Amino acid sequence: MLAKGSEPWLFTAVSITALFAILSRAINSSHLNHVAYMAMALTFFMVLFFRDPERKVEVSDTYMVSPADGTVIDIRDRKICIFMFLQNVHVNRAPISGKIREITYKKGGYLPAFCKDSERNERNEFIIHSKYGDVSVMQIAGTIARRIVSYSRVDDNIEQGQRIGMIRLGSRVDVTIPNNF
């Protein structure tokens, strides 16, 4: 399965690959042939990046699931920071069932997402009201990522593991757990 909204990106990559492949054959140019192979590699990367595998999540209110694939790079108090590398799936999911109470998008820069300065980066925060209190899921764009996409809206009832958004081309997700959990 591919991520929602990936079609224009993949269509562009496939079109560029096809164009260079046709031109390299028509002109019989080894240079264009190399460009076609590079475009093919880019297309493969785009398919890999925009993949969105199904996840089986046993819904439970006794634990939370990670909102993102990646590596935990920091834990402070009740906040967990997860850095997504390029090879990770970049679709983000609800860590707990509840109702989206608030979504706040802020424009910002594109500093490396693992740096403390990334607090000034583009971000999108979901506040999910659960039976334990509010859970914050913050999507933070990084150096390569230039677009945060939200799949959910305020007042949506969401289930644990449900897709809530995506950060195109990577970055970081912070989740803040309520005191009652």
Active-site annotation, residues: 171
Backbone angles phi, psi at 174, to 5 degrees: -110, 135
DSSP state of 27: H
Residues 6 or more apart in contact with residue 53 via CB below 8 angstroms? 1, 89
Q: Are 147 and 177 in contact (CB under 8 A)?
A: no
Residue 73 CB contacts under 8 Å (≥ 6 apart), including other chains: 81, 82, 83, 114, 172
